[in-house]
Chains A and B, each alone.
Chain A
Amino acid sequence: MKGIGALPLADWINAGVDWLSKFTGFFNSITAFFQAIIDAIQWVFDLLPEWLFIIVILALTYWVKKDQKKLGFMIFEVLGLLLIWNLGYWRDMTQTLTLVLSSSLIAIIIGIPLGIWMAKSNKAEVVIKPILDFMQTLPAFVYLIPAVAFFGIGMVPGVLASVIFAMPPTVRMTSLGIRQVPEGLIEAADSFGSTSWQKLIGLQLPMAKTTIMSGVNQTMMLGLSMVVIASMIGALGLGTQVYFAVGRNDAGAGFAAGIAVVIVAIILDRITQSFNQTYR
């Protein structure tokens, strides 16, 4: 291999990035779009006083869990959120939530249609699958470098990095859920003369709902796991607190912020999980 010399892969990619940075207008509009979603969510969180936020979370839990067991979990929510409030991480917590929710929202908006396409077309599946693998396994730092170049510093590249890393489960699970609808039911729908749109809306998506929801749940969890990395490019939130604690070598503060992340994760996970109990 010595004779050939190293391929100038890095140079090619740099050339590509340089070329892409000509499209500033395009990237600016994406930035503006992401920023609008982020601002809207953060605006709502800033509007709610702490106690009202806790009540809203409890009401939401009560509503989604309907007839499942929920009392213990609701006590946990109250204690966990009070702890975060007490530790002084409330604003950081809402910022983290904003990051996770906006990236999940974008991942769902893009991911579900992509998953549907992947389920309906084998060709699409062949193309999309390796891209998803790429998105999930490429170390996040690698695409953070160009992300900063295109989208600047702040929440937007953080959200973008989270979307890239967290979207694949939604796409995969949507596709899987639709492909898993029994052939016999598809045949029944066909025999009564349904269009593909009627089949999708009336049969495939409702039947795939639980599978899709577990994909969304995973997307949220993966989004949460990105908060520390996102904080390195200026996304605010609990991740920033952890990052600072690492910088100051302050294990106590690190753990405190880390535990707050865990509390948020558990609440998000349990609430989204209760969506996938039944398909009715």
Chain B
Amino acid sequence: MTEKVKVKHLTKIFGKQISQAKELLKQGKNKEEILAQTGCTVGVSDANFSINEGEIFVVMGLSGSGKSTLIRMINRLINSTDGDVEVDGQSVMDLDKEGLRKLRQDKFGMVFQNFALFPHLTVLQNAEYGLALKKVDQETQEKKAKDALNLVGLNGYDQQYPDQLSGGMQQRVGLARAIANDAEILLMDEAFSALDPLYRKEMQDLLLQIQEKMHKTVIFIGHDLNEALKLGDRIMIMRDGVVQQIGDPEDILTHPANDYVERFIEGVDRTQVLTASSVMAKAQVVNIAKAGPRVALRRMRENDISSIYVVDNENRFVGFADAHDVSDLIKKNSKDLRSVLNTDVPKTHADTPINDLINDISKTPIPYIVVDDDDHLLGIILRGTVLAAISGEEVSA
């Protein structure tokens, strides 16, 4: 993985007594204290992270958390007070006016919350905008813009004006405008926040679909955690301009770094993110090569359970034995555990989202087993653990 964007000690302070505020910030004062003493607002405070090529990096936070300021410092729509941003190793702060324009033209495509489409231009002209600035010839402009419009599902709207389209369609134009430009990095500032829920879901799916084809580096700003969990390869949570945690969705949900993140993730729809592996429990097993019916029954009694999973020497799943059947077997004085094994057990893989399982989990009488590609038994999924995980309790596997 190559680092596409590297953010180093990035800080933004708004106000007049900036140097004084900077000093206080170094002393570890928080946003309120600095505001009270200097009248300066800390937008972003010492942010350090890097974004890999081809990933969707979601920056999350409530309004006022500095996420919009942060994204604007990446393409220098806002100048930082301190720190630097490197894009492909090039420092953004070092660039002169001309170099900065070149960088924006070549590398960035930005999508805005309120769409920011040019109302006096047609849909096609809007999509051509970035290319027109680069003075690409008209033919190429039109071809690339049309390709981008097709990609976002807007063919046939070329000659319409933005105000003739619905909000969702307008944002498709916004997305097309950013893509047509051949941007390597998409900056999406609350891009879907202004859309109603149905359109929003559609646009999220569209973005994922596009991403599968184009592998852009996407920096996505949002305040909806469900959206972040759905889109993000990695998520960064911010509060009052300070980065709280960076991690993949599962990481954030299962290991919140502090109380704030924990409160933030309360009430989130976990089914989309949690996978079978994060809710599976350890299975009680017996090795069929070593154990017969008596050992199996004793293990069930010891653990106070009514059934047990049977594996071979290499921990590969063989079957599932019920206590009732096993004791019958003992009465018949048979040692053939295999004869009572139930092999018709629902199976799933470790990375299956529980969203896909949840309906079946509630129907099947036998718990799901989690196996890897070679049928090795990794664990089982109990209804109770799933419910606990969805409601946000710590999962102890």
Using CB atoms and an 8 Å cutoff, list the residues of chain A in contact with chain B.
182, 184-185, 187-188, 190-195, 198, 202-203, 206-207, 209, 279-280
What is the CA–CA distance of A191 and B100 in the complex, to the nearest angstrom? 10
Interface string of B264-308 (1 = CB under 8 A from A): 000000000000000000000000000000000000000000000
Contact B103 A203 (CB under 8 A): no
Contacts of A193 in B (CB 8 A): 100-106, 108, 130, 133-134
Supposing A184-B112, A198-B133, A280-B161 touch, asked if A191 and B75 sit within 8 A by C-beta, the answer is: yes
23 contacts between A and B (CB under 8 A): A182-B116, A184-B112, A184-B116, A187-B112, A188-B110, A188-B112, A188-B118, A191-B75, A191-B77, A191-B187, A192-B104, A192-B109, A192-B110, A192-B130, A192-B181, A193-B105, A193-B108, A193-B130, A193-B133, A194-B101, A203-B118, A206-B120, A280-B120
Is B320 an interface residue, CB under 8 A from the partner? no
* Contact residues in A for B129 (Cβ distance below 8 Å): 192
A195 contact set on B, CB distance < 8 A: 101
User: B389 CB to closest chain A CB, in angstroms?
Assistant: 41
B114 is an interface residue with CB less than 8 A from chain A: yes
Name the residue among B77, B118, B130 with the largest chain A CB count within 10 angstroms.
B118
Annotate B163-196 by CB proximity to A: 1 below 8 A, 0 otherwise. 0000000000000010001000001000000000
* Interchain CA distance A195-B92 in the complex, whole Å: 18
Give the CA-CA distance A191 to B106 in the complex, in Å: 11
Interface presence of B64 (CB below 8 A): no
Does B119 lie at the interface of the complex (its beta carbon under 8 Å from any beta carbon of A)? yes
Name the 9 nearest CB pairs between A and B, nearest first. Answer: A193-B104, A193-B105, A188-B116, A191-B110, A193-B101, A192-B130, A184-B116, A206-B120, A279-B120
List 20 other contacts, CB 8 Å, given A188-B117, A192-B181: A182-B116, A184-B114, A184-B116, A185-B116, A187-B77, A187-B112, A188-B110, A188-B118, A191-B75, A191-B104, A191-B108, A191-B110, A192-B104, A192-B105, A192-B108, A192-B110, A193-B100, A193-B103, A193-B133, A209-B120
For A185, A207, A279, A280, which residue has the most chain B Cβ atoms within 10 angstroms? A185
Residues of chain A within 8 A of B117, CB atoms compared = 188
Contacts of A202 in B (CB 8 A): 132
Contact of B77 among A190, A207, A279 (CB under 8 A): A190
| Residues of chain B with a CB closer than 8 A to A182's CB | 116
Chain B: residues with Cβ within 8 Å of the partner, total of 28
Contacts of B119 in A (CB 8 A): 207, 279
CA distance A209 to B119 in the complex (A): 13
In the bound complex, CA of A190 to CA of B101 (Å): 8
State how many angstroms separate the Cβ of A198 from the closest Cβ of chain B.
Answer: 6
- A206 contacts which chain B residues (CB < 8 A)? 120
Quick one: which of B118, B132, B161 contacts A185, CB cutoff 8 A? Answer: B118
Q: Please, which residue of chain A has its CB at the minimum distance from the CB of B130?
A: A192
Alpha-carbon distance between A184 and B110 when the two chains are bound, in angstroms: 12
Q: Distance in Å from the Cβ of A194 to the closest Cβ of chain B?
A: 5
CA distance A205 to B247 in the complex (A): 46
- On whether A192 and B133 interact (CB within 8 A), knowing A207-B119, A279-B120, A280-B120, the answer reads yes
Most chain B CB neighbours (cut-off 10 Å) among A192, A207, A209: A192
Q: Which residue of B lies closest to A188 (CB)?
A: B116
How many Å from the CB of B185 to the closest CB on chain A?
11
Output the least CB separation between B233 and chain A (Å).
23
Closest A residue to B75 using CB positions: A191
List the A residue with the shortest CB-CB distance to B105. Answer: A193
How many angstroms between the C-alpha atoms of A78 and B215 in the bound complex?
Answer: 65
| Minimum CB distance partner of B110 in chain A | A191
Contacts of A280 in B (CB 8 A): 120, 161
Q: Mark B79-107, 1 if CB is under 8 A from A, else 0.
A: 00000000000000000000011111110
In this complex, what residue of A is CB-closest to B116? A188
* Residues 113 to 158 of chain B near chain A (Cβ within 8 Å): 114, 116-120, 129-130, 132-134
Determine the chain B residues whose CB is within 8 A of the CB of A185 once the complex forms.
116, 118
CB distance from B351 to the nearest CB of A (A): 37
User: Please, which residues of chain A bring their CB within 8 A of the CB of B130?
Assistant: 192-193
* Complex alpha-carbon distance, A75 and B118, angstroms: 38
A198 to B181, CA, bound (A): 17
Residues in chain B near residue A207, CB distance under 8 A:
119-120
Contacts of A192 in B (CB 8 A): 104-105, 108-110, 129-130, 133, 177, 181
Q: Which A residues are in CB contact (< 8 Å) with B106?
A: 193
In the bound complex, residues from chain B placing their C-beta under 8 Å from that of A198 are 133
- A202→B134 CA distance, assembly (Å): 13
| B residues less than 8 Å from A187 (CB atoms) | 77, 112, 116
Nearest CB of chain A from residue B138's CB, rounded to whole Å? 15
Do the beta carbons of B108 and A194 come within 8 Å of each other? no
Contacts of B110 in A (CB 8 A): 188, 191-192
How close is A203's CB to chain B, nearest CB, in angstroms?
A: 6
Contacts of A184 in B (CB 8 A): 112, 114, 116
Q: Nearest-CB distance from A180 to chain B (Å)? A: 13
Minimum CB–CB distance from B221 to chain A (whole Å) comes to: 13
Residues of A within 8 A of B116 (CB): 182, 184-185, 187-188
Could you tell me if A194 and B118 are in contact, using CB atoms closer than 8 angstroms? no
How far apart are A185's CB and chain B's nearest CB, in angstroms? 6
Q: Which residues of B contact A279 (CB under 8 A)?
A: 119-120
CA distance A232 to B110 in the complex (A): 60
A68→B114 CA distance, assembly (Å): 31
Q: Which of B103, B119, B134 gathers the greatest number of chain A CB atoms within 10 Å?
A: B119
Which A residues lie within 8 Å of B133 (CB)? 192-194, 198
Q: How far is the CB of A107 from chain B (nearest CB, A)?
A: 25
